[in-house]
A and B are shown apart, each in its own frame.
Chain A
Amino acid sequence: MRHLTSIRELTKDAAISLLDNAQQLSQVNDREVKKLPALRGKTVVNLFFENSTRTRISFEVAAKRLSADVINFSADSSSVSKGESLKDTAQTLEALGADAIVIRHPLSGAPKLLAEQDWISASVINAGDGSHEHPTQALLDALTIRQGFGLSQDLSGLKVLIVGDILHSRVARSNILLLNLLGATVTVAGPRTLIPVGIEQMGTTVNSSFEDALSAKPDVVMMLRVQKERMQGEFFSSTAAYSKAWSLEGDRLAMVGQDALILHPGPMNRGFEISSEAADDPRSQVLRQVSNGVAVRMAVLYRCLSGEQL
């Protein structure tokens, strides 16, 4: 595995082995010295064309725990704002010694393009591209679900419900693909205007009612972060109306099974798509998702840069 730009690039075995590696690496977090020499001498560049402090820090911590050097390159403070092309930016970073480029980009497909065109030889890891994919998020979610149910292999038999703005969500797309790969059953729910036409073909059923979807007793309820500004006008009548129909709160929280897990990729809009009550519920996995994010990114960086499993 040289790049990771889409879950489509993974086989089931490769995905499980990445999760296994991440599971082992998550123990480094509990050590007194939280560092392994695995990627000493390697340089990882976080190339972020879009702000995402959390994801950037997570990749940075992951790379540093493996002893790699980390360079953070933010597009707005760089020559990109002067009109430099993606190709030139990437080639410049490689000339500076980058072995892996972790890229976040507002346009769908930019990481795949960088990986597949003959521009650079560095590894390319997708840290979220437009409304396409966010593969490491899906992997950390899968690891969290696996841990939550005490599983060691795949997720077969589990029912996962993804709720919110599916149309604009790269987290949803990567999760639909990975959860299917791992044998789980996926349902997405949200306002119809925020569910892309044809999404069923990725391997999901669509439900237009949160209550109805919850009555099917999903094992996992994954709430998506919702951009408030999108919830008025073109896609939905108002933010209040959105919250009323699609927030995880009150009676809906009561419908979530006692053994079910509640996931959210963060950062949460408390009181909007998720109530504080739900966010702080013992079933909520939000903080475990964050720590698993570091472990998964360590596993991905290691696999891409060393070409080996642990």
Chain B
Amino acid sequence: MTSLILKNLTLPNGSGADIEIEKGRITKIGSVSGSGIDCAGLQALPGFVDAHTHLREPGFEASETILSGSRSAAAGGYTAVMAMANTSPVTDTAEVADFILDAGVRAGFVEVKPIGSVTKGLQGAELSDIQGLSESRSKVRMFSDDGVCVFDEDLMRQALVAVKAFNGVIAQHAQDPTMTVGAQMNAGALAAELGMAGWPAEAEESIIKRDAELAEQTGSRLHICHLTTAGAVEVVRWAKARGINITAEVTPHHLLLTEELVRGYDSVYKVNPPLRRLEDTLALREALLDGTIDVLGTDHAPHSREKKECEWQNAAFGMVGLEHAASVLQEVLIQSGASWERFANVLSVKPAQIAGLEHQGQLSVGSIANIALIDPTAKRVIERQTNSKSVNNPFAGITLPGRIVHTIFKGRFTLKNTQIQEQQ
């Protein structure tokens, strides 16, 4: 394989440069002689890393497969996704984890790394084979029961202790199930009017508080999935000030969309945790700007049409997210004056660190060439249909800034001039 040269791009620190790639690695950043692909006007970033993707395979292939989800990720500028464990069978054994790992390699669009479940079958009763998962070929480092909360406090403590042995992390879906029985949307005046059971902010905040204390006691790493409330931001801020080893994630939809969208009972807006009030959205954006929130995680949750084309209460929770995440982040971060370095940190560097992905989140000589190139001046209307198999896309029709032009995974184009490049 001959060298690939990207000419005239802009680095995260704002300086102009060329990048030379050979044998899948970045060999030079600076001025590179010879012809290459003109990237004038394009912002180069380390390939994006999603620490929160539902690829649905094995078990729910009508909604997404590892291949279709990988293609969607590449189209969104991603070079790595962490595959959530709520598959069928659940990713609670080395066999399931390695199946996902291998299918990701076969697909070839992004690094697919499995997340192990914290508890067997996501049942919340006994721990999964955490050690076996960590020693599998997949070398699982992140564990989550996402979709449900690890509610048993002692089990959560044991899980935190168990992952400490290999510097793993527990990613908690913070939702007290006793406070959210039958909950359909954010609790408050709108839920009262629409006649649906509400999801109080305290159900999220109380679990984060509890788990932060457990993380403090055990000295283990805790990651909080999808923060949604102003109060949750306050709890994380408090925990970080205490020096607790905690990181926090926000989704694209909780940064931009609010509960007002529920008025039409269109289940494309049904998501767990729910869309909240405008003041929550504003608090999340502020927390992302000041660093209280560390990463953007898509919670990409594809669902086939029949799971969404029904009454709100009967519909599945979740929305797709991989192909508009970067645009949402540009809208929230860059347009508020934050730097592209901060953008790269939120969408690539930090999630790679949290997930323990050694070859992601770097844009430097010698590192594996995982690169996203954005046209930041583009404006685009988000289309409902993406490369995902599912169309539960709440951003359809919304105009957002930025377009992913190229994605390079291990030195090869997976997206070139906005077109998916089929892999051999």
Residues on A facing B (Cβ under 8 Å): 85-87, 105, 107-110, 112-113, 116-117, 129-133, 170, 173, 196-202
Contact = CB atoms under 8 A, between A and B. Distances in A.
B195 A133 contact: yes
B189 interface: yes
Q: How large is the interface on B (under 10, 10 to 19, 20 to 34, 35 or more residues)?
A: 20 to 34
Contacts of A112: 264-265
Contact of A108 (B196, B264, B266, B309): B196
A36 to B, nearest CB: 34
B192 interface: yes
A55 B380 CA distance: 49
B311 A109 contact: yes
A197 B202 CA distance: 14
Contacts of B188: 197-198
Interface of B: 187-196, 198, 264-266, 306, 309-314
Given A117-B266, A132-B195, A109 B189 contact: no
9 contacts: A86-B310, A107-B314, A108-B313, A109-B196, A109-B265, A113-B264, A113-B265, A196-B192, A198-B189
A202 B190 CA distance: 9
Contacts of B194: 108-109, 132
Contacts of B312: 107-109, 113
A109 B189 CA distance: 16
Contacts of A201: 189, 192-193
Contacts, number: 74
Contacts of A132: 194-196
A89 B73 CA distance: 37
Most A Cβ at <10 Å: residue of B188, B196, B265: B265
Nearest to B198: A197
Contact of B195 (A87, A170, A197): A170
Contacts of A130: 195-196
Nearest to B305: A87
B309 A87 contact: yes
A112 B193 CA distance: 14
B290 to A, nearest CB: 30
Most A Cβ at <10 Å: residue of B190, B194, B311, B312: B311
5 A-B pairs with the lowest CB-CB distances in the bound complex, closest first: A198-B189, A109-B265, A132-B195, A131-B195, A196-B192
Contacts of A197: 187-189, 192, 198
Contacts of A109: 194-196, 265, 311-313
A85 B195 CA distance: 22
A199 B310 contact: no
B309 A85 contact: yes
A116 B267 CA distance: 12
